[in-house]
Amino acid sequence: MKYGFCFLSNMPIYIDLSVNCTVKSHFAFGEIFEILSAKNEFFEVKNSNLENNGYVPKSQVKIISKKEYNFLTQSEKFYTTDSISTIVFENRNTLLSIGSLLYNFDGLVANFGFEKINFFGNAISTNQKLNTTQIENLIKKILNAPMITGGNSIFGLDSMGLIQFFFKFLQISVTGTLDKIIEKNTKIGLVKNVKFGDIIFFGNKKIEHFGIVLSNKNILHVHGYARIDEYDYLGIKNKENDSEYLFSKIYKIIRIQ
């Protein structure tokens, strides 16, 4: 068994290797994964945050040993908290999006096992419990990131990537299709019972859009870019035009457990 380490700002994970294959997600700097097989210029990989296996370019993978993989698995992990920071990794300057992974960070040095690196940025332990205000402050750092299919970082994201990004700070991994996510989580029947972190789906006869509830009737969502708008029982209001709704009619509400 081989193991890999994402040493770039982010790395695309493809659904398959067909001509028109799409990106399902991205690995962030510092994430590790198992390499199951090699196919042409790609590795088939898996990790705990992927519901199904995916494919990544061989040229974007740092191969690590089983010992190094186990070291990182058992290490204390930290998320970077600056919108963008820089790390010098293997003599290369690499931009880190908020939410990138460091290991055994003491405030100055991160120990990856195979390399110790000075990091002059901010990071928090993945075990740290954050309150609502702290999470909102972190989330606001990703606002205006462009909509990119399969993205989950400040360099670009889609609605599912936004959900994955949001819940990683709550130590919750959100994987699977929308149908599976809805099926296995708590349904909220009334808008008045909505709480911070609930996901609201909008549409008439099917899901057309969704976002995450913040405080003060605000909703975090991706519409061209990551943004915060107000919502009510009629839908999401356009902050540029209070009389217009970007998406109307609440279809369903769930609470991630």
- Domain CATH number, residue 250: 3.90.1720.10
Residues 159 and 72 in one domain: no
Pairing mode, if any, of strands 42-46 and 32-39? antiparallel
Q: Do 41 and 113 fall into the same domain? A: yes
Q: How confident is the model at residue 1 (pLDDT cuts 50, 70, 90)?
A: confident
102 strand-pairing partners: 78
154 and 194 inside one domain: yes
Token code pair at residue 98: 């908020």
Is residue 114 within 8 Å of 30, Cβ to Cβ? no
Tell which of 93, 125, 157 closes a domain. Answer: 125
pTM: 0.91
Above 90 in pLDDT, residue 191?
no
Distance CA 109, CA 25 (A): 29
d(CA 110, CA 105) in angstroms, rounded, equals 4
Q: What is the mean pLDDT of the chain?
A: 92
Average pLDDT of span 108-130: 94
Does the pLDDT at position 146 exceed 80? yes
For the segment 110-114, the average pLDDT, to the nearest whole number, is 95
